[in-house]
Amino acid sequence: MRRIFLLLTFGFTSLASGQEMLSYDNYMTWVRGFHPVAKQADITVEFGEMELRASRGGFDPRLYGDYEAKRFKNTNYFDKREAGLVIPTMAGVELKGLVEYNTGTLLNPELEVPEDGLAALGASVNLAQGLLIDKRRATLRQAQVYVESTKAERMQILNDLFMESTEAYWSWAADYQNVKVLEGGVKLAEERFEMVKESYIQGDFPAIDTVEAYTQVMDRIYRLQTAQIKYFKATQFLNTFLWDENNQPVELLESVFPENILDTTLFDYDKESMREYIFRHPQLLLTDYNIESLQIDRRYKANMLLPILKVNYNFLVENINEFQLSPFLENNYKLGMTFSMPLFLRGERGDLGLAKAKINFKTYERDLKLLKLTTKLESEIYNFETVEQQLGIYTNNVNGLQKLLRGEMMRFEVGESSLFLINAREVSLISAQTTLNDLAAKRKSAYAKMLNAAGLGFDD
């Protein structure tokens, strides 16, 4: 359920008439603070953090315990018990500590241990495949890259929200100003119609002049209603960017209005800095992080070409205090070695070739993306500067049309002009004023598009 916004404390300027102005800066603060897309952008970083936490779980120490017993026809065949702790490390070495207690009349001789049990402390080391990188370490490094990529994704989402909400505000501001211009035009036409009608009654103007004045009133009312429809739609669209702290959509009251679209705004920007910043554009960073993740996968797949050579070594003691007294590879130890290797390595070579192909594919994609981003930035810079020039030119045009209207009014007062010419001057001026408002909004939106093309938006 949408609610009507009644608060005056969130960046509004209250007027004596009961109206409140919502400034652009306060509107953008509101959007950044409460819009669902802004909150989604912040949540994307949590995705990376949770992925990193999950990948670190591969290095969590593991407690384990095994118990197996067999009794048949009053004979205790065996009773085997083992409990221990396995600690994976970032160096690819697994540390292991365990305690065994095995009994039974038919126990396998190799499982026999002292009466009080046997303790072991050792390690498993990969000497070939898995020495420099393994699945756990590759997953962890990819998760670390993913954390950075979510930050870039968050930045891109916020940048797009900045541009879209900015366009919505200035479109709303221009439509509001156009309604005010056309309301003034209707008021002038109605006043002139009453004046002409009174003059006709007194015999000063012919009847055709009243028809001329009346048609102007009807035409301007039509244009005003068209502008009001456009302003209503702009207001409804603007409302889609307005949410409160309780995640509920809000609507602005009719008394709320934007800042003047024609207020002077100085945009401080450096084209060269923007051209340099394009290399840190979020879209480009996302591709870079993708390539970095693929590079980790390539190193892992290359490591899979090596044979499996794993060594397990355990110190064996009856008492834990005896570990420091046990000589290495002399007595009381358990040693094992595992070796295996496919003869043709077709699966491993295929996986490695696929990983390299993916990197090449993404590299070409990155080059193309950089070109597109650079081209778009140059286009938006040119567009902004051109619109800025157009705004200056059209401002002079409006000033000239105002002077022409004042001159025509002076001529009309001394009988050297006609009502038709005055109406024509007014129509031209009103049309120019609405065009000027649209150009002012286009300039401010063009600035937001230029920032977005450079990979900029909200300051945070």
pLDDT of the chain along its 460 residues, tens only?
344 444 434 444 443 345 788 999 999 999 999 999 999 999 999 999 999 999 999 899 999 999 999 888 888 888 999 999 999 998 889 999 999 998 888 888 888 888 888 888 889 999 999 888 999 999 999 999 999 999 999 999 999 999 999 999 999 999 999 999 999 999 988 888 888 788 777 776 777 778 888 888 999 999 999 999 999 999 999 999 999 888 899 888 888 999 999 988 888 888 899 999 999 999 999 999 999 999 999 999 999 999 999 999 888 887 766 656 556 556 777 889 999 998 899 999 999 999 999 999 999 999 999 999 999 999 999 999 999 999 999 999 999 999 998 998 888 778 787 778 888 888 899 999 999 999 999 999 999 999 999 999 887 6
Burial call 396-408: b when 16+ CB within 10 Å, e when fewer: ebbeebeeebeeb
Q: Are 121 and 323 in contact (CB under 8 A)?
A: yes
Rounded to whole angstroms, how far apart are CA atoms 258 and 25? 11
CA distances from 395 to 390, 399, 403, 422 (A): 8, 6, 13, 21
Q: Residue for token digits 């004046």? A: 195
Q: pLDDT at position 323, please?
A: 57
Residue type at position 310: K
User: In the CATH hierarchy, which top-level class contains the domain 3-34+137-294+355-454?
Assistant: mainly alpha
In the chain, residues under CATH classification 1.20.1600.10 are 3-34+137-294+355-454
Rounded to whole angstroms, how far apart are CA atoms 186 and 179? 10
Q: pLDDT at position 56, please?
A: 92
**pTM listed for this prediction:** 0.85
Rounded to whole angstroms, how far apart are CA atoms 112 and 117? 9
Q: pLDDT at position 330, please?
A: 65
> Which class for 375: exposed (0-12), middle (13-18), buried (19 or more C-beta within 10 A)?
exposed
* Residue 32, helix vs strand vs coil: helix
Q: pLDDT at position 6, please?
A: 41
